[in-house]
Structure 1
C-alpha cells in the first residue's frame, strides 16, 4: 500500500493479521528489506509494518535537501501509523537513521506510540547535549567513529563515490566489515545518494542548537557491542527517558541482518512486558563461605540469585537469606550440571552472571597424594568449573546478549608450594582456563574473570583433606589451619565485594587479599624468589 505524506508517497508493507502493531523503520542506506528476517519471526504474533523511508526503495523522494529534515521524517512515521492503526497506539522499532528519525517522533508530544526500541541510532538532540560536556575520551572515540559524516558533507565527491564505486560493492563491504551476507536492494545507488541529504539536512543544524527532547513512553535501547559507528552508553538517556531499558547484543552495526532471531526476541519481549528484568546470577557452592557471601552481595545489589551446592540444606539457607532459589548439584558430574543449567534457563531465564565457586581444599606433598585424592581435587576444582563454563556459556552465546563468567581460582595458582601440588595445580588450571575462555568469548560480549583469594576465613579449612596422615592428625591440621585463617581476619565478604566489582569492570584477573596481590606481583617480577621460597619448610 502507498501512504501519502507531504510531497512524497511512502511504500508500506504489512505482514500478519492480528496482534499489536509493530512498525519497523530502516536506516541508511537500506530499504525495508533490512527488516525481512526480523519481520518473518514477528509476524506470527504481531501485525508487522515496514516501509521505505522517503528517498529510499519504492518510496518517492522530496524535491529538495530540506525535505529530509527530521520533522518531515517524523510526519512520515505519523502518516504510516495513522494508515495502519488509526485507533490504537503502535510499537515502533528503529535502526540506524530509522532510529534517529523515530526519536524525533517519540519525543513529539501526543505521539501515538506505545513503546520504542532504538538500535544503533541516537537522538541527535541528546547527542548534541552530550557533546557540550567537558571533553572526554568518549567524545574523542565517537568523533573518530563518525568520520564518515564529514565525508558525506563533501559536495560532488560523496555522491560520485557511491554511484561510481561503492554501490555495486556494498554487499561485499557488509560481508567483510560486518560478517553479513545479503543482497543489497536494486535501488542501492539512488538510495545511498538520496540518503546523504539526511546528514546534510540535520546533523549540523540539530547539533548546533539541541532541543530538550523527552520520551514519555517505555524505551528500549539496544546497543550492539561491536558497533563500529555509534555508542549510546554515554548519553545519559535516563535524563530524557523516565522508563528506560538498556540491552546489549553481541553483534555489529547491522544487527537486524546478522542476528535477526535475537533482535526479534528483544522486540517481542519488550512489547509484551516493559518491566526491566533483574540481573540473574548463578553461584555454585553457594551454601557457605565465599559462595554464600557472593550470593548475598549480588542480592544486595538488586540481582536475582540462584545457588547450588551438594549440601541442599545449606543451599536453601542461602536462598532464604537472598530471596533466591536453591538446587542440589554435584558439579563433578557434567550431566548434572547440564541438566541444572537447562532447568535454570527454563525456570528463571539464561543467567547474566555465573560464578563457578564450588571447590575443596587439599594439602600434601606430590608423592604422598594418592591418585584418588588427585582425582577428587581435579573433579571438583577443575572439572566443576569446566562443566559450569560449558553448560552456561553455551546458553549465553545462544542468547546473544553477553554476560559474565567468574571462576574462583586462588593465589596458589601462581604461588608454588611443595605441600599444595594437587590444589595449586587445579587452581592454576582454572586460572589459565579463564584467560583462554576470555579470549574465546570476547566476540560474544561475555567477560571472564579469575578471582584469586589468599588466606580467607571460610569453612574450607575445616573440610580440607591431608595426604599421608591419620584421621586424628588430619583433624589437628584442620583445626590449626582454621585458627590461623581466623587470626588472619579476612572474611568471605571481602572476596564477594571483589567479585561483584570484577563483573562490573570486566576485570580479567583479581588478586583479592594483600598476600595474593604481593604473590601476583612477585610471580611476574621475581618468579625465582617464589620458587626459592617454595623450598622452605614452614610447617
Structure 2
C-alpha cells in the first residue's frame, strides 16, 4: 500500500523543505578510575565498502565498562551527541560515530549504496572495531535510530538495549502511520511531516536546494528561531542526506517495509511534544519490551531540557540487560 503520492509535491518542494526542517549492577566509572570524561575523545576511522567512517571514543574501553553507541540523525552529524557522550563517559565506554554522508566520514550520493542495509553494515564495522566480542547499547535519534533498528533486525543479539529519541524504526513507522491514519485528526496532523518526507524523495530538486546553500541558511534560521543550539551541518551533508532519504523512504516507510516486529531486550523511546505521536502509534504491538518515557524539548536541545531523566533511564536499560 502506498501512503503518499510524491509527484504532486514537486512544485511545493521549495516551501516544504524550508519550512519543515526542523539484577546486576553495571560497572560504571569505578571500572576505570583514571577515565577522564573531560578528556578529548580518541579519534579513529573504520572502513566499510571503501567508505571511511569517523569514530570518536570516550571514557574507558569496551573491556572495562559497557559500551553505548550513538550516531547523528539528519540534518547534522553526530556532534549533537557530543555533550551527552562526555557525560556518559563517566560511566560507560562511549562510541560516537558519523555515518556515511555526515561529518568527517565519506560522502556518497549513490542511492543504492545508501540503503539501510548498508548503513547497518557500516554500524557493524564500527562496533567490531570499537567493541569486538561485546554486545552494545545504543542511544540515537532520527536516522541514527533507523540504522540501529535495522542492525538489530538483521543481526539479533548484538544490541542489548536500543534507546531512541522519537520513533525508533522507519519500518515500524509504516504501521504506526497506517493505524494513525484511521483517526481523521491524526491524519491531518501527520500530513505536513509525511509531505516533507515525500518532498525529500522527489528527483533532483532537493539536491539543487541543498547544494545551493539555501537549505543550509533555512535550517540555521529555523534552529535559531526556536532557540535551539546550532547543529553542525554542511552542504555536502545535506546533499548526501537527500540520497539517504531517497534510498529508503519510498520503500521502507511508504510501500515495502522489511519487518513488522523488532525484538530487542529493551526498546526505549524518549518521546517529546516535538515528536509526532502518529509515528509510534501501536508500537507496543510490534516489539517485545517497549519502555516509553516522556521528555521535554526538541531533538536539538534534549541535553539541556531533559538530561537527568534521560541519563537515569539509560542507566536502567543498561543495568537491566547488561548481564543477560
TM-score range (shorter-chain normalised) is 0.7 to 0.9
What residue in structure 2 maps to residue 147 of structure 1?
Answer: 195
How far apart are the structure 1 equivalents of 2:111 and 2:123?
19
Q: How many residue pairs end up in the alignment?
A: 270
Q: Deviations over 1:266-288 (max 9, x none)?
A: 323322346xxxxxxxxxxxxxx
Mapping of 1:246-265 within 5 angstroms? 246-256=292-302, 258-259=304-305, 261-262=307-308, 263-265=310-312
Question: What is the CA–CA distance in structure 2 between the aligned matches of 1:2 and 1:145, rounded to whole Å?
Answer: 34
Paired residue for 1:4? 47
Q: CA deviation at 1:15?
A: 0.4
Which residue does 1:88 correspond to in 2?
134
Cα distance change of structure 1 residues 244 and 233 upon mapping to structure 2, 3 Å threshold: same
**Secondary structure of the structure 2 residue equivalent to 1:216:** coil
* Higher normalized contact order (CA 8 Å, seq sep 6+, divided by chain length): 2
CA contact (8 A) 1:171 1:181 kept: no
Instruction: Report the counterpart of residue 95 of structure 2 in structure 1.
Output: 49
Render the CA deviation track for 1:94-117: whole Å, top value 9, x for unaligned. 101111221111222434111000
Query: 1:37: Cα distance to partner?
Result: 1.1
With structure 1 as the length reference, what TM-score do the two structures score? 0.47
Q: Report the 3-state secondary structure (helix = DSSP H, G, I; strand = E; otherwise coil) of the residue aligned with 2:105.
A: coil
Q: Aligned partners of 1:9 and 1:36: how far apart in 2?
A: 20
On the 8 A contact 1:9/1:59 being kept in 2, the answer is yes
Match of 1:69 among 103, 112, 115: 115
Q: Which stretches in structure 1 are left out of the alignment for 5+ residues?
A: 275-539
User: Does residue 216 in structure 1 map to residue 285 in structure 2?
Assistant: no
Distance 2:237 2:279 in 1: 30
Distance 1:26 1:63 in 2: 18
Pick from 73, 77, 89 the counterpart of residue 31 of structure 1. 77
Two-structure CA RMSD over aligned residues (Å): 2.3
* Corresponding residue SS for 1:192: helix
Q: 1:501-532 CA distances to partner (integer Å, 9 max, x unpaired)?
A: xxxxxxxxxxxxxxxxxxxxxxxxxxxxxxxx
In the alignment, structure 1 residue 135 sits paired with structure 2 residue 182: yes
SS, match of residue 245 in structure 1: strand
Q: CA deviation at 1:122?
A: 3.6
- Larger gyration radius, structure 1 or structure 2: 1
Deviation (angstroms), 1:255? 4.1
Q: TM-score, normalization: structure 2?
A: 0.76
Shift of 1:194: 0.7
Q: Which has the higher helix share?
A: 1
Does the Cα contact within 8 Å between 2:229 and 2:300 map onto a contact in 1? no
Q: Is the 8 A contact 2:161 2:264 kept in 1?
A: no
Distance, in Å, in 1 between the alignment partners of 2:229 and 2:176 is: 35
Q: Spell out the pairing of 1:116-127 with structure 2 (5 A cutoff).
A: 116-127=162-173
| Contact 2:295–2:306 under 8 Å retained in 1 | no
Q: 1: CA distance between counterparts of 2:187 and 2:146?
A: 19
Quote the residue 1:176 is aligned against.
225
186, 191, 197: which is aligned to 2:243? 197
CA–CA separation in structure 1 for the residues paired with 2:197 and 2:92 = 36
In structure 1, the residue corresponding to 2:90 is in which secondary structure? coil
Q: Give the equivalent residue in structure 2 for 1:166.
A: 215
Which residue does 2:151 correspond to in 1? 105
Alpha-carbon separation, structure 1, partners of 2:155 and 2:131:
18
Change (3 A) 1:168 1:143: closer
Q: CA deviation at 1:44?
A: 0.6
Aligned counterpart, 1:267: 314
Shift of 1:25: 1.9
